[in-house]
Amino acid sequence: MREETISAILERIQQETGIVLSRATDRARISRYLDNGGILPKTHEPLPDTLLNLITTNETYFERESHHFDRLIDEILPQIDRSGVSKPIRILCAPSSSGEEAYTIALRILESSLRLTRAIEIIGVDISPEMIRRAQEGVYSKRSIHALKPEIVQRYFRMQNQEFKINALEGMSVRFLSGNLFDPYLWNELGNFEIIFSRNMMIYFDKSKNRELLLRFRDHLEGFLILGHADDHIQARELFTPMRKERGVIYHT
């Protein structure tokens, strides 16, 4: 009976989030969830936050895959800023995890020599409410900031209980919200973007869910898509125009 419950929970997770959990360690995590009083939610009930927090992987740090941020500053933002549009440049980070990627983008822009004529709006989305809470708090371990230059840490962070809290970033809009990227109502709230960062999330989905995700990106993107090295680049090339350079592949609508 217990194994059947675990299988039913895993199936429900895949149906609602697209995340495929098939390893023994995944079943063990669900077993611990049940040990702590968790249950299989009824069909009409949303997945509980405790379960969403349990199933997500959130290993990240500032400046991870830094070549993407190099291209953002050197190529993408200057091109978008020349478009003659006055509305803010909107950047989506999905999944945002605990905020390191979104804040890295903000710090890169603040530290660059760019003189942008348009404001910047950065939105981070993650299915885990706990990760969103941590992103909003903006408090990070020494490991999370290890790739940042010491002067950047000194300029933009302050010590808080042996950790590093990011300061308010003047002139930069960075916000986070919890949501499922396969939920059309979420996209109604998010709107459209000029840039989407979605790096190394597709390894958790099957091929059909990857395509569904890429199609949602295409429907809400008027610019550039940045994927991670482990993502589904085969399907991405079918839906977007690849822009190859020595610093990885990015895509354009």
Q: Which of 48, 61, 57, 54 is nearest to 31 (CA)?
A: 54
Q: How high is the pLDDT of residue 24?
A: 73
Q: Per-domain residue ranges for the chain?
A: 2-55, 67-252
Q: 144: which 2 tokens? A: 């999370």
Pairing of strands 248-252, 221-227: antiparallel
φ/ψ bin of 210: left (φ > 0), alpha (ψ from -120 to 50), beta (otherwise): alpha
State how far the Cα of 78 lies from the Cα of 23, in Å rounded to an integer: 44
pLDDT confidence tier of residue 210, bands split at 50, 70 and 90:
very high
Q: What is the mean pLDDT of residues 223-250?
A: 87
Mean pLDDT estimate for the chain: 89
61-110 pLDDT, tens digit per residue, is: 999 999 999 999 999 999 999 877 789 999 999 999 999 999 999 999 99
Spell out the residues 6+ positions from residue 10 whose beta carbon is closer than 8 angstroms to its own: 21, 22, 26, 27, 30
CATH of domain 67-252: 3.40.50.150
Q: What is the mean pLDDT of residues 5-24?
A: 75
Q: How high is the pLDDT of residue 137?
A: 97
42-58 pLDDT, tens digit per residue, is: 777 777 777 777 776 66
Q: Which of 56, 80, 69 is nearest to 103 (CA)?
A: 69
